[in-house]
Amino acid sequence: MVEVKVVEDSVNSVGNRLTTFQLRYWRAIHAEFMTHRMFSRNASSSRAIPVATIMKQVREAPASPVHWGANQPGMQADAELSPIGIVVAKTVWSQAANSAADFAEQLAKLGVHKQIANRLMEPFQYISVVVSATEWNNFYELRIHKDAQPEIQELAREMKKAQDASTPKKLKCGEWHLPYVTQEERSTLDVYTQQQISTARCARVSYLKHDGATPSIEEDKKLYERLVGGRPLHASPCEHQAKAMDDAFSYRNFRGWSPFRISVEALIKSKLK
């Protein structure tokens, strides 16, 4: 099961469209998703989420294949198992998920950190991802294809469907694409504060904190400072905010949009001189 939401959708004066998605999909296909270099991404980490939270998800609703392909030579599985075979395979998968959760629980009780214990459950986990890009055609062509793994086919189809149904906002040169910033915040906060809170929320892949609580503006700003104010620099969440340009040139991996990260890195460099 995948979840796809268009968080922010903008187009500049010359027609370059920048779309930001929030996604939830089977962690097993994340490595394939990461091969697309034109994407700016941030994702939930097994190192950050409590073991108990992941154990609950793995035991109650483990991530699993959408197509139970029968074994054959090559990378693709064309035909599925028989109906009875699928039922048995799903049962075995569920047993494996519960077993992984049991062993992770034992490690947690021994005092092992979640960055280790949670790894045992990754084959049965979902991952939450925020992704922004101006170039989508290659991804759709490769992944909405019979040779792609069925689970990433499903993800790509749902993303294209959501993007096709979305109407991008037209932004003038100098205006900002700011995921997770509400309309009220846009009318009451200065642009730099909006950039800060958008960065923090992209880092969390959500408006909310991991415990489901709504952060204050000050909490978002503190997270932003931890990301870009310390060393080493954690600047990837600054790539989703971008300024509309009046051309179709490439600004790093965006066409016609200049990522906030460029400004952040320039400011840091000037302070170090």
Cα–Cα–Cα angle for 72, 73, 77, rounded to 5 degrees? 50
Q: State the average pLDDT over residues 210-233.
A: 85
Angle at 24 between CA 29 and CA 232, to 5 degrees: 80
The mean per-residue pLDDT over the stretch 251-273 comes to 88
pLDDT score for 209: 64
Longest Cα pair distance anywhere in the chain, in angstroms?
68
Model pLDDT, residue 11: 98
Return the ∠ at Cα 195 (arms to 190 and 201), rounded to 5°.
125
- Greater model confidence, 107 or 231: 107
**pLDDT tens digits along 159-204:** 999 999 999 999 999 999 999 999 999 999 999 999 999 999 999 9
Residues 239-250: what's their mean pLDDT? 96
Is residue 63 within 8 A of residue 27, CB to CB? The reply is yes
Question: Within the chain, which residue ranges are assigned CATH 3.30.1360.170?
Answer: 3-165
**% of the chain beyond a pLDDT of 90:** 86
* CA atoms of 105 and 170, how far apart (whole Å): 50
* Residue owning tokens 């490690």: 107
| Whole-number percent of the chain with pLDDT over 70 | 97
CB 124 within 8 A of CB 110: no
User: Is residue 155 within 8 Å of residue 29, measured between CB atoms?
Assistant: yes
Q: Per-residue pLDDT for 136 more than 60?
A: yes
Q: What is the pLDDT of residue 56?
A: 97
- Predicted TM-score of the model (pTM): 0.94
> Which CATH number is correct for 3-165, 3.40.50.280, 3.30.1360.170, 3.10.20.30, 3.30.200.20?
3.30.1360.170
Condensed to tens digits (0 to 9), the pLDDT of residues 49-79 reads: 999 999 999 999 999 999 999 999 988 888 9
> Phi/psi class of residue 249: alpha, beta or left (left: φ > 0; alpha: ψ in -120 to 50)?
beta
Report whether pLDDT(272) > 80. Answer: no
